[in-house]
Amino acid sequence: MIPITEYARRRKELMKKIDANSIVILSASPAVIRNHDHEYLYRQNSDFYYLTGFKEPEAVMVLLSKNKSSEFILFNRKRDREKEIWDGHRAGQAGARQEFGADTSFPIDELEKKLPELIAGREKIYYAFGACAAFDKIISQAINTVRNQIRNNEKVPSMFADIRPFIHEMRLIKSAAEIKLMRKAAEISADAHKRVMEFCKPGLYEYQLEAEITHEFQRQGARCHAYNPIVGSGENTCILHYVNNDKQIKKGSMVLIDAGAEYNYYASDVTRTFPADGHFTQEQRAIYEIVLEAQLAGIKAIKPHAPWNQVDIIVTKIITQGLIDVGLLKGKLDDLIEKQAYSKFYMHRSGHWLGLDTHDAGRYKINDKWRKMEPGMVRTVEPGIYISAETPGVHKRWHNIGVRIEDDVLVTQKGHDVLSHGAPKKIDDIEKLMTTK
């Protein structure tokens, strides 16, 4: 768990980055209807959670800069015995102060009444423009109220700024407590991938593999997937964001699983690919070996000061060379890289930041230059090759082989640490695990 003092430290750090005499306003995620009167399982907005640790909907965080400190105000739902019988416990205003360290707390119903008072006299408002139209309206109404009621234009804030880039840069560097949770999330995912390799056999349906993954996540305390899991077999291994997961797995086909646990709000993102019956065919092996070589070399390049795109460059080169070696691309390596000829088979980038969100916050470029990796950053490394039956000019012996291998990698002082290393990825290890039952 993240200690409550860490949220306070984050708020303090954020306030140091913004201008004096400002107000920061951040809203919780709204609850979302799935169908009729049933909601999706609620998940707090990651920025809001990062600064408050507060998991309930219908809440607004306000931070006021003061001379040498700041004030944390939380608007949240009132306690309500009747509603709590149906929907569960609410922290209420006392809880906001005692459990979440708010200096002041108000019922959320009072937001529109209080906001003009809080805004009046502040020079600058920081908030998340356009994230929610209803919330944008609340902010503009509050400003109009200040303008119309006070009739003193000096009290009306004159500047607006987006708060998100400030929070996102902070989120990019993970604390020790965050790394601990991310390591746990990745370890649970690795165990789930291992479990599903042991379980898989032709004839099962893709969702039955998904069930094994979910079982392992929840057995180990990860209530949710970090994202909709991809469990594709055969031709579905070539659909990058395949989530139907409802086809029967055929003998001789490949199975690609991209599934990551969310543990205490932190994501993992792991992909493994293996043959349904535990034995790689010659073609499957050839493609798999290229992807694995690219992934291992990409991971090896991760260390402080290495630019973000270093991994892309290495991965692209190995994949292109590999495709030349097996005859799927023809031409000179440099020309093919220049022309991006590989993009017929490898159409995404080599990874992304990882944290509270699967595609986590933080810029990839600074002043138009790739940013350098620093200790505490976590990223994925996930090259792939996908040979659809519809890719023109490919002999059918290569059809429906889709391979992606993805791990979660922490940048350390000396280099890197593969958080999801427990999921087998060497061909021998996979074949052994799958055929010794």
Report, as residue numbers or ranges, the catalytic residues.
37, 241, 258, 269, 348, 352, 359, 382, 386, 404, 406
Question: Which of 210, 382 has the CB closer to Mn ion?
Answer: 382
- Determine contact, residues 76/105, Cβ cutoff 8 Å: yes
CB of 384 to Mn ion, least distance (A): 10
CB of 270 to Mn ion, least distance (A): 8
Which residue lies nearest Mn ion, judged by its C-beta? Answer: 269
Question: Which of 44, 380 has the CB closer to Mn ion?
Answer: 380
Nearby residues of 268 by Cβ (< 8 Å), 6 or more positions away? 182, 185, 186, 188, 189, 226, 260, 261, 262, 354, 408, 419, 420
Question: Which of 264, 358 has the CB closer to Mn ion?
Answer: 358
Q: Which residues bind Mn ion (CB under 5 A)?
A: 269, 380
Helix, strand and coil in the chain, % to nearest 5: 40, 20, 40
From CA 262, how far away is CA 266, in angstroms rounded? Answer: 5
| Cβ count within 10 A of residue 332 | 9
The residue behind tokens 């992304």 is: 352
CB of 378 to Mn ion, least distance (A): 12
Question: Which of 144, 228 has the CB closer to Mn ion?
Answer: 228
Query: 106-131 as b/e, with b when 16 or more CB fall inside 10 Å?
Result: bbbeebeebbbebbbebebbbbbeee
DSSP 20-39: SSEEEEEEPPPP-EEETTEE
Write out 392-424 in H/E/C secondary structure.
CCCCHHHCCEEEECEEEEEECCCCEEECCCCCC
Question: Which of 95, 260 has the CB closer to Mn ion?
Answer: 260
Question: Which of 156, 240 has the CB closer to Mn ion?
Answer: 240
CB of 177 to Mn ion, least distance (A): 23
CB of 250 to Mn ion, least distance (A): 26
CB of 95 to Mn ion, least distance (A): 36
Q: What is the DSSP letter of 356?
A: S
Pairing of strands 22-27, 124-127: parallel
Query: What are the structure tokens assigned to 216, written together?
Result: 């392992």
